Amino acid sequence: MSSGAASISCFAMSGALALLVAGTGCGSASGAKCPDAPPDKPPGCPVCAPPPRPGPAPLAIPAETLTTDREQRVSLVAFSQDGATALLRIEDDAVGDLFKSVDITVTPVPKLIKSWLFQSLTEPIALKQALRALKPQAPGPASQKNQAGVSLVATDDGERVVILAMKGERAVPIATLPRLRDEDGVLADVSIVKLAWDPTGTRALVIHAQKLAAAPGFESQWLHVVAVDPASLPF
């Protein structure tokens, strides 16, 4: 076969393969496969790429974890070095200001280990005591990107907020957050306060706020923890 004939043959085969791809979803998440190439396929003809590996099933965080008996504001202070414990600073309308040490191996709502109430003059003392309890404290600030280069991002699809793990140009959902509704059925405004990996890169911490416009104008923040198996991520 001349080089010109080979070129024409390859072009014709490419066109047929393109039609097959369009009809079967080749290379899609559905798992459709390309047909075996004929043994005389000229070099340079396209090869159908394998379908991308799916991500983990996202955790649907239950609506009942959004407690509405009080308003609070949550900030992440530090982690323990083993990633099992997080220290939070809480402004709670019911009990006042306090630091909380929580067990983040318990998901999606971490378990309280110990708390330290404080007022403005005693905050430095309470903070020192709380940090000492981390045994030892992880170095550096909490990061939105883990050691493997996987970032945490969020998007709002209307009915819920989706938390995604992202690397390069691909992102996969790992959790969904429900949204509150007011008495008129209007969804709350939602904002992400903090996204951070624990030091082991196996747990994602999500702090988010929701605000209801209707009376009594409830507004609060919540912390949730999402366990993520690095081997389940398709990156």
Cα separation, 190 vs 207, in Å, equals 11
pLDDT score for 110: 98
Tell me what percent of the residues of the chain surpass a pLDDT of 90: 66
Query: What stretches in the chain show pLDDT beneath 70?
Result: 1-47, 215-216
Domain ranges (residues) in the chain: 1-52, 59-232
pLDDT at residue 53, as a whole number: 84
**pLDDT in the model for residue 94:** 92
H-helix or E-strand spanning residue 7: helix 3-24
Q: What is the pLDDT of residue 48?
A: 72
Q: Which helix (H) or strand (E) holds 10?
A: helix 3-24
Task: Return the SS3 of 3.
Answer: helix
Query: 208-230: per-residue pLDDT in tens?
Result: 999 998 766 899 999 999 999 99
Question: What pLDDT shows up at residue 87?
Answer: 98
- Return the pLDDT at 185: 87
Q: 60-66: which pairs have CB atoms within 8 A and are 24 or more residues apart?
A: 60/175, 60/176, 61/108, 61/175, 61/176, 61/177, 61/178, 61/224, 61/226, 62/108, 62/178, 63/178, 65/108, 65/109, 65/222, 65/224, 66/178, 66/180, 66/210, 66/222
Q: What is the pLDDT of residue 184?
A: 85
- Written as one letter, the residue type at 128 is K
Give the Cα separation of 157 and 200 in Å (integer).
29
Sign of CA dihedral 135, 139, 141, 146: negative
C-beta neighbour count of 39 within 10 angstroms: 5
